[in-house]
Structure 1
Amino acid sequence: MTRHHQFGLDTFGDVTVGPDGELLTHAQVLRNVVDEAVLADRLGLDFFGVGEHHRHEFAISAPEVVLAAIASRTERIRLGSAVTVLSSDDPVRVYQRFATLDGLSGGRAEVILGRGSFIESFPLFGYELSQYQDLFEEKLNLFAALLPQEPVTWEGKLRSSLTDQLVYPRVEGGSLTTWVGVGGSPESVVRAANYGLPLVLAIIGGSPARFAPLAELYRKALAQFGHEPQPIAVHSPGIVADTDEEALETLWPHYEVIMNRIGRERGWGAVTRDHFESEASPHGALYAGSPETVAQKIAAALRVLGADRFDLKYSNGTLPHEAMMRSIELYATKVVPRVRELLAESGSEPGSTDAAAAEPREASAG
Structure 2
Amino acid sequence: LNQQETITWEGKFRKPLRNAHILPRPLNKQLPIWRAVGGGPGSAVRAGRAGVPMYMAHLAGAAQSFKYTIDAYRQSANDAGFDGDHLPIATAGLFYVADTSQEALREYYQHVNAGLVLTNGQGFPKQAFAQAPDKRSILNVGSPQQVIEKILYQHELFGHQRYIAQLDFGGVPFDKIMKNIELIGNEILPAVKKYTAK
TM over 0.5: same fold?
yes
Question: Alpha-carbon deviations, 1:201-256, whole Å to 9, x = none?
Answer: 10112112111122122112112212243110100101122222221221122222
Contact 1:180 1:200 in 2 (8 A): yes
Residues of 1 paired with 2:55 and 2:98: CA distance? Answer: 26
Matched, 1:349 2:194: no
Q: Which of the pair has more CA radius of gyration?
A: 1
Residues of 2 paired with 1:334 and 1:87: CA distance? Answer: 45
Map of 2:115 onto structure 1: 258
Query: What SS does structure 2 have at the residue aligned with 1:285?
Result: coil
The 1:323–1:340 alpha-carbon spacing in structure 2 relative to 1, beyond 3 Å, is same
Query: What SS does structure 2 have at the residue aligned with 1:278?
Result: coil
Q: 2:53 aligns with which of 171, 194, 198?
A: 198
Q: 1:101 aligns with which of 8, 19, 23?
A: 23
Contact 1:208 1:284 in 2 (8 A): yes
Contact 1:234 1:310 in 2 (8 A): yes
Query: What SS does structure 2 have at the residue aligned with 1:311?
Result: strand
Query: What SS does structure 1 have at the residue aligned with 2:172?
Result: coil
Q: What's the offset of the Cα at 1:280?
A: 4.1
Question: Alpha-carbon deviations, 1:141-167, whole Å to 9, x = none?
Answer: xxxxxxxxxxxxxxxxxxxxxxxxxxx
The sequence identity of aligned pairs, in percent, is 26
Q: What's the Cα RMSD here?
A: 2.5
Map of 1:310 onto structure 2: 163
Map of 2:13 onto structure 1: 88
Q: 1:219 aligns with which of 74, 77, 100?
A: 74
Residues of 1 paired with 2:12 and 2:138: CA distance? Answer: 27
The 1:271–1:222 alpha-carbon spacing in structure 2 relative to 1, beyond 3 Å, is closer
Map of 1:334 onto structure 2: 187
Map of 1:186 onto structure 2: 41
Contact 1:292 1:338 in 2 (8 A): no
Map of 1:121 onto structure 2: none
Residues of 2 paired with 1:203 and 1:197: CA distance? Answer: 19
Residues of 1 paired with 2:29 and 2:105: CA distance? Answer: 44
Residues of 2 paired with 1:180 and 1:272: CA distance? Answer: 29
Residues of 1 paired with 2:38 and 2:96: CA distance? Answer: 21
The 1:275–1:224 alpha-carbon spacing in structure 2 relative to 1, beyond 3 Å, is closer
Question: Alpha-carbon deviations, 1:48-79, whole Å to 9, x = none?
Answer: xxxxxxxxxxxxxxxxxxxxxxxxxxxxxxxx
Residues of 2 paired with 1:222 and 1:340: CA distance? Answer: 27
Residues of 2 paired with 1:278 and 1:299: CA distance? Answer: 18
Residues of 2 paired with 1:87 and 1:210: CA distance? Answer: 34
Residues of 1 paired with 2:130 and 2:31: CA distance? Answer: 39
Map of 1:247 onto structure 2: 104
Contact 1:182 1:188 in 2 (8 A): yes
The 1:175–1:294 alpha-carbon spacing in structure 2 relative to 1, beyond 3 Å, is same
The 1:273–1:184 alpha-carbon spacing in structure 2 relative to 1, beyond 3 Å, is closer
Give 5+ residue unaligned stretches, structure 1: 1-85, 109-172, 351-366
Q: What pairs up with 1:251-330 in 2 under 5 angstroms?
A: 251-264=108-121, 268=122, 270-330=123-183
The 1:215–1:275 alpha-carbon spacing in structure 2 relative to 1, beyond 3 Å, is closer
TM-score after normalising by structure 1: 0.46
Residues of 2 paired with 1:297 and 1:176: CA distance? Answer: 31
Residues of 2 paired with 1:205 and 1:87: CA distance? Answer: 32
Contact 2:100 2:143 in 1 (8 A): yes
Query: What SS does structure 1 have at the residue aligned with 2:188?
Result: helix
Contact 2:137 2:150 in 1 (8 A): no
Give 5+ residue unaligned stretches, structure 2: 1-10
> Which one-letter code corresponds to 2:143 in the other structure?
S
Question: Alpha-carbon deviations, 1:283-302, whole Å to 9, x = none?
Answer: 32321111111010011011
> Which one-letter code corresponds to 1:327 in the other structure?
N
Residues of 2 paired with 1:288 and 1:260: CA distance? Answer: 19
Question: Alpha-carbon deviations, 1:306-346, whole Å to 9, x = none?
Answer: 111111111120210110011011012111111223xx3xx
> Which one-letter code corresponds to 1:176 in the other structure?
L
TM-score after normalising by structure 2: 0.82
